[in-house]
Chain A
Amino acid sequence: MRPEPWRDVLRSASKACVVGAAASVCAPWGCGETLTAPIAAAHGQDARPRPGGTLRLASFQDVRSLDPAGPTDGLAIQAQRLIFAGLVDYDEKGHVVPELAETWEVADGGRTVRFRLRPNVTMHDGSELTADDVKRSAERALAPATPNPNASYFDQIVGFEAFTARQKDHLEGVVVDNRYVVSFHLKRPDATFLPMLAMPTLRPVCRSAGALYDDRWTPCGAGPFRLPPAGWQRGMTLRLVRHGAYFRPGLPHLDAVEWTFNVPLLAQRFRFEAGRQDLLRDMTQPDQSRFAADPRWAPFGGVEANTRVYGEAMNTRMPPFDHIEIRRAVAAAIDREHYRLLKPAYLTVLTQLLPPDVPGYDPDVRGQGYDYPAALEHMRKAGYPYDPVTGKGGWPEPIVYPLYDQGLLVFTAQLLQQDLARIGLHLDLRLMSWPAFLALQERPGGAAISQANWEMDFPDPSSFYDPLFTTASIGPEVSYNVSFYSNPRLDELVARARTELDPSRRRALYGEADGILCDEAPWAFAFTYHGYYLRQPYVRDLESRLIGGGDPTRAWIDRESDTLERAVGRLLP
């Protein structure tokens, strides 16, 4: 090792230097420097879309796979939705709308969904989309050797078990009726099938994908953008270019969409201000506040949908939360307004399971709420009365609360600790890595209480109720019913709601289920979080979607420099 005779001197001197260096960085940077002005659009608000240009995006994350049948993540879904068009899609409200399917009909009491494809849809490889492609793509995605994390979402298709157990070569429930008509046969009526089908998983892929999943396949579909050769530099950039033969005439307007991956937050801000990144989504909390407060930038900020629920999951099989009154006490003891004040612009208090932008959310439901006297009363009923004046009583042992290092959740954990201490429940916060946290939380007997959250997979209440609170979601090793809550009545309501095709009757069933959850409190619902993003003014018509971020299909770039480049480009051979 290096000889370090000066170690002690250096150590104390270096501390002083760090302070000095930090001050020198801070001075020009975050402590008083004004934000760069937005780059104005070249034309007025009523200008018509102009073709060309590249939409440049960035993320601090990376994409693992672009194959809709492969491992996926939030960022990958955004790209997959551009490369692969589905039979159906969601609109900005989450309603299912036709895409590659011109029309569909539900027959056989809801057990058959028959799609008529648009004729003359050209895929990226130049071939025409047919019903055979739909069936082949579905079988490829659900084949047992495919590393598809969403395969079991489609277990309601007839023949799923036989196909995934390799007993049958083909998926019996997907039937090609003719060149442009394909039918999905379900074991029972399923109101969630269409919303699930709008997920990227079963979207048609080109024939080059073959019948079986292969990691080396170059993604190819029928979406508005295609992946050019060498368009994806793993871990660095992804460039998608316009699919000239996209089935919607005149779209997309953009020549390309580019992502740069693994870009730290500060670097994203620099790029954005310099006009080298057109959208800014990942930013530090101070930057968010500064942009939102700046009148030049405020009109170009937007909020994303509230589709993620955050709460405190209580393990109903572990003491003290195996006692319903203790769970009710927790639900009543949390002052959710304190949570909201952590990020007032982005957090919304949540007193029921469904976040506001999820279909089925009922703003009139009272649900759970902060009621300190009631919380003390629930503790008394549980047999652990607590006297807030003397601080005596309550649960005698400290309760371990595992958490992982995610900024906001570290703060909410401390607020929870303070709130529960006021009713005699003392939390022992234990910080750990994300994989360790996940392993502990999902294991029976792993964590008595822990922070839990869930993002909507598809716009339907079932996306929350089924995985989080039904008995079927409790597994021997992995369980995503992390409160290990089991209630036959709730199971029945959720199962009936899934097969119920009448919207009003479904709403009533989920309403009763929500009442049970709010009362029995396997979770104390806490808040929902919506992201904030900024765009440069020259990014026009970027439509927001409920799932998968902004939709660049109709977006266009209205920037002076691009106008010049386009003009020069036309003059050059």
Chain B
Amino acid sequence: MKRVARRLLWSLVVVWTVVSVVFALNDLLPGDPARMVTGPQARPADVVRIRTELGLDRPPIVRYARFWRRLVHVGRPLGEDPRDDAHATCATLLPLGPVSVHVDFGKSFQMRQSVAEIVAARLPRTFALALAGVLAQLALGLGAGVLAAVKRGTWIDRSLSTTVLIGIGAPTFLVALLLQYVFARSLRLLPLDGFGATAGDHLRCIVLPAMTLGIYGAAYYARLIRDEMIVLLRQGWVRTARAKGASDWRVVVEHALRNALVPVATAVGLDFGALMGGAVVTETVFRWPGLGELSVKAMLNRDGPVITACVVVTSVAVVTTNLLIDLVCARLDPRLRS
């Protein structure tokens, strides 16, 4: 418990550091956010007025202090007073009866919407894609890796290894375009891109982006599992298990695979955290409206509040998954608990 608390504290420090660096970068990078809002043909007088309207005329330290003061705060439940402009850009983080904990990232310069609302709408989509992507990676990667290890040196191993190399070598965008071409344009089995309007649409729309992420990531997992399994299957305790009459299936799954999963769990955690920041290329090609596409556009448009919100979400996702990985790894391998 003490260890978890210490890790949590460190996680907060990591998030604070990352966000502070991004906040500073937003200011240091060349480019005027007000100019990006007004467009290149707006008159200087209009640019100045909009800069003031966005609060960009205030000193950076004032905006920084305001950001942290507003990020998580307590207020009345949202929606009670529609004229309450002080909380117009907030979203409820934790309802606590007469009061609630709000999260407030401010208003997007470009979209002029509450950033918390934008992120809240996109976060589940990114989560769904990250989850589907990781599941596809694991399903393909674990299966191929175990099979290659068990059939080491055979044509199956060689075929799988070659396929894995293609998976690693092909850039994501190429895999994405190929899948679009085959499954959407030629066979017309799946939607070309988009998100859809119903739950059924969402499921159909997520298949190709998840496959794209799956193919790319599965190659690493297959390689990883194969190598780990080959080493483990030669261990003395595996021979002992065989000598005791354990079936091949039990030896492979319960003895070897379970131990091989420790590095895989670490890799999955890191991958999942990274995907929560948005699979930028995949989201863009498939028009999947998640955080990746959002953060890239925000970066190009110097939309500071959106950039900061994306970084907060990503860094929280990364430190949380890292924390979970530690717990899972400790569960898988008792030696790590100490």
A interface, CB within 8 angstroms of B? 1-3, 5-6, 10, 13-18, 20-22, 24-25, 28-29, 62, 64-65, 70-73, 144-145, 147-153, 155, 215, 234-236, 260, 262-264, 266-267, 270-271, 274, 432-436, 438-440, 442, 454-455, 457, 467, 473, 475, 477-480
A152 to B30, CA, bound (A): 26
Closest beta carbon of chain B to A157's beta carbon, Å:
14
A455 to B184, CA, bound (A): 37
Q: Which of B11-19, B33-41, B129-137, B313-321 contacts A (4 or more CB under 8 A)?
A: B33-41
A25 to B290, CA, bound (A): 27
0/1 interface trace, chain B 265-301, chain A, CB 8 Å (1 if under): 0010010000000000000110101000110010011
Q: With A17-B165, A215-B112 in contact, is A149–B184 under 8 Å at CB?
A: no
A73 to B39, CA, bound (A): 7
Of residues 18 to 52 in B, which have CB atoms within 8 Å of A's CB atoms? 29-32, 35-50
The residue of chain B having its C-beta at the shortest distance from the C-beta of A440 within the complex is B30
The residue of chain B having its C-beta at the shortest distance from the C-beta of A466 within the complex is B43
Closest beta carbon of chain B to A475's beta carbon, Å:
4
Cβ-defined contact, B169 with A262, below 8 A: no
Q: With A1-B270, A147-B112, A454-B41 in contact, is A439–B223 under 8 Å at CB?
A: no
Cβ-defined contact, A18 with B171, below 8 A: yes
Specify which chain A residues have a CB less than 8 angstroms from the CB of B301 in the assembled complex. 435
Cβ-defined contact, A436 with B185, below 8 A: no
Among B36, B107, B178, B287, the one with the most A-chain Cβ atoms within 10 Å of its Cβ is: B287
From B45, B111, B169, give the contact of A152 (CB < 8 A).
Answer: B45
The residue of chain A having its C-beta at the shortest distance from the C-beta of B176 within the complex is A264
Cβ-defined contact, B170 with A21, below 8 A: yes
Give 16 A-B contacts (CB < 8 Å), ordered by A residue. A2-B267, A2-B270, A6-B223, A13-B165, A17-B166, A24-B178, A25-B174, A65-B111, A152-B45, A266-B177, A267-B192, A274-B185, A435-B300, A439-B32, A477-B44, A479-B44
Among A6, A435, A442, the one with the most B-chain Cβ atoms within 10 Å of its Cβ is: A435
Count chain B residues whose beta carbon lies closer than 8 angstroms to a beta carbon of A.
Answer: 62
| Residue B75, interface by CB 8 Å | no
From A10, A62, A150, A274, give the contact of B168 (CB < 8 A).
Answer: A10
Cβ-defined contact, B178 with A151, below 8 A: no
The residue of chain B having its C-beta at the shortest distance from the C-beta of A455 within the complex is B41
Cβ-defined contact, B224 with A2, below 8 A: yes
| Residue B195, interface by CB 8 Å | yes
Q: With A150-B42, A436-B30, A467-B41 in contact, is A267–B193 under 8 Å at CB?
A: yes
A467 to B180, CA, bound (A): 45
Specify which chain B residues have a CB less than 8 angstroms from the CB of A435 in the assembled complex. 29-32, 35-36, 300-302
Cβ-defined contact, B112 with A20, below 8 A: no
The residue of chain A having its C-beta at the shortest distance from the C-beta of B107 within the complex is A215
The residue of chain A having its C-beta at the shortest distance from the C-beta of B294 within the complex is A235
| Residue B53, interface by CB 8 Å | yes
Specify which chain B residues have a CB less than 8 angstroms from the CB of A477 in the assembled complex. 44, 48
Specify which chain B residues have a CB less than 8 angstroms from the CB of A155 in the assembled complex. 45
| Residue B194, interface by CB 8 Å | yes
A13 to B285, CA, bound (A): 26
| Residue B259, interface by CB 8 Å | no
Specify which chain A residues have a CB less than 8 angstroms from the CB of B110 in the assembled complex. 64, 71
A151 to B289, CA, bound (A): 32
Q: With A149-B38, A467-B43 in contact, is A17–B194 under 8 Å at CB?
A: no
Cβ-defined contact, B32 with A151, below 8 A: no
Specify which chain A residues have a CB less than 8 angstroms from the CB of B50 in the assembled complex. 147, 149
Closest beta carbon of chain B to A494's beta carbon, Å:
15
Cβ-defined contact, B42 with A149, below 8 A: yes
Cβ-defined contact, B165 with A10, below 8 A: yes
Cβ-defined contact, A16 with B192, below 8 A: no
Specify which chain A residues have a CB less than 8 angstroms from the CB of B227 in the assembled complex. 3, 5
Cβ-defined contact, B220 with A2, below 8 A: yes
Cβ-defined contact, A270 with B185, below 8 A: yes
Specify which chain A residues have a CB less than 8 angstroms from the CB of B223 in the assembled complex. 6, 10
Cβ-defined contact, B31 with A433, below 8 A: yes
Specify which chain A residues have a CB less than 8 angstroms from the CB of B185 in the assembled complex. 270, 274
The residue of chain B having its C-beta at the shortest distance from the C-beta of A18 within the complex is B169
10 shortest interchain CB distances as A-B pairs: A435-B31, A17-B169, A14-B169, A149-B38, A475-B44, A436-B30, A149-B42, A21-B170, A478-B44, A215-B112
Cβ-defined contact, A21 with B178, below 8 A: yes
The residue of chain B having its C-beta at the shortest distance from the C-beta of A468 within the complex is B41
Cβ-defined contact, B192 with A149, below 8 A: no
Closest beta carbon of chain A to B233's beta carbon, Å:
17
Cβ-defined contact, A151 with B46, below 8 A: yes
Among B170, B175, B180, B300, the one with the most A-chain Cβ atoms within 10 Å of its Cβ is: B170
Q: A262-B284, A264-B287, A477-B44 are in contact. List 15 more A-B contacts (CB 8 A).
A: A14-B168, A16-B169, A21-B174, A25-B177, A64-B111, A73-B39, A147-B37, A147-B53, A215-B113, A260-B287, A435-B31, A438-B40, A467-B41, A467-B43, A480-B44
Number of A-B contacts (CB under 8 A): 172
A155 to B336, CA, bound (A): 71
Closest beta carbon of chain A to B109's beta carbon, Å:
9
| Residue B181, interface by CB 8 Å | yes
Cβ-defined contact, A480 with B112, below 8 A: no
Among B50, B270, B301, the one with the most A-chain Cβ atoms within 10 Å of its Cβ is: B50
Cβ-defined contact, B181 with A28, below 8 A: yes
Specify which chain A residues have a CB less than 8 angstroms from the CB of B285 in the assembled complex. 264, 267
Cβ-defined contact, B287 with A267, below 8 A: yes
Cβ-defined contact, A270 with B112, below 8 A: no
Closest beta carbon of chain A to B209's beta carbon, Å:
13
Cβ-defined contact, A21 with B113, below 8 A: no
Specify which chain B residues have a CB less than 8 angstroms from the CB of A153 in the assembled complex. 43
A147 to B165, CA, bound (A): 52
A64 to B194, CA, bound (A): 19
The residue of chain B having its C-beta at the shortest distance from the C-beta of A19 within the complex is B169
The residue of chain A having its C-beta at the shortest distance from the C-beta of B33 within the complex is A435
Specify which chain A residues have a CB less than 8 angstroms from the CB of B30 in the assembled complex. 432-433, 435-436, 439-440
| Residue B77, interface by CB 8 Å | no
| Residue B143, interface by CB 8 Å | no
Q: With A435-B32, A435-B35, A438-B35 in contact, is A457–B165 under 8 Å at CB?
A: no
A436 to B31, CA, bound (A): 5
Closest beta carbon of chain A to B67's beta carbon, Å:
20
Q: With A271-B192, A467-B41 in contact, is A149–B46 under 8 Å at CB?
A: yes
Specify which chain A residues have a CB less than 8 angstroms from the CB of B37 in the assembled complex. 71, 147, 149
A373 to B297, CA, bound (A): 47
Specify which chain A residues have a CB less than 8 angstroms from the CB of B294 in the assembled complex. 235
Closest beta carbon of chain B to A208's beta carbon, Å:
15
A473 to B283, CA, bound (A): 41
The residue of chain B having its C-beta at the shortest distance from the C-beta of A479 within the complex is B44
From B112, B181, B267, give the contact of A64 (CB < 8 A).
Answer: B112
Cβ-defined contact, A263 with B297, below 8 A: no
Closest beta carbon of chain A to B198's beta carbon, Å:
13
Closest beta carbon of chain A to B174's beta carbon, Å:
6
The residue of chain B having its C-beta at the shortest distance from the C-beta of A36 within the complex is B185
Of residues 136 to 194 in B, which have CB atoms within 8 Å of A's CB atoms? 165-166, 168-171, 174-175, 177-178, 180-181, 184-185, 188, 192-194
Cβ-defined contact, B39 with A149, below 8 A: yes
Specify which chain B residues have a CB less than 8 angstroms from the CB of A455 in the assembled complex. 41
Closest beta carbon of chain B to A355's beta carbon, Å:
15
Q: With A62-B297, A153-B43, A263-B193 in contact, is A438–B174 under 8 Å at CB?
A: no
Q: With A64-B112, A435-B35, A478-B47 in contact, is A13–B169 under 8 Å at CB?
A: yes
Specify which chain A residues have a CB less than 8 angstroms from the CB of B220 in the assembled complex. 2
The residue of chain B having its C-beta at the shortest distance from the C-beta of A432 within the complex is B30
Among A6, A17, A436, the one with the most B-chain Cβ atoms within 10 Å of its Cβ is: A17
Cβ-defined contact, A236 with B194, below 8 A: yes
Closest beta carbon of chain A to B111's beta carbon, Å:
6
Specify which chain A residues have a CB less than 8 angstroms from the CB of B166 in the assembled complex. 17, 20-21
A155 to B44, CA, bound (A): 13
The residue of chain B having its C-beta at the shortest distance from the C-beta of A260 within the complex is B194
Cβ-defined contact, A17 with B170, below 8 A: yes
A82 to B189, CA, bound (A): 35
Closest beta carbon of chain B to A561's beta carbon, Å:
15
Specify which chain A residues have a CB less than 8 angstroms from the CB of B112 in the assembled complex. 64-65, 70-71, 147, 215
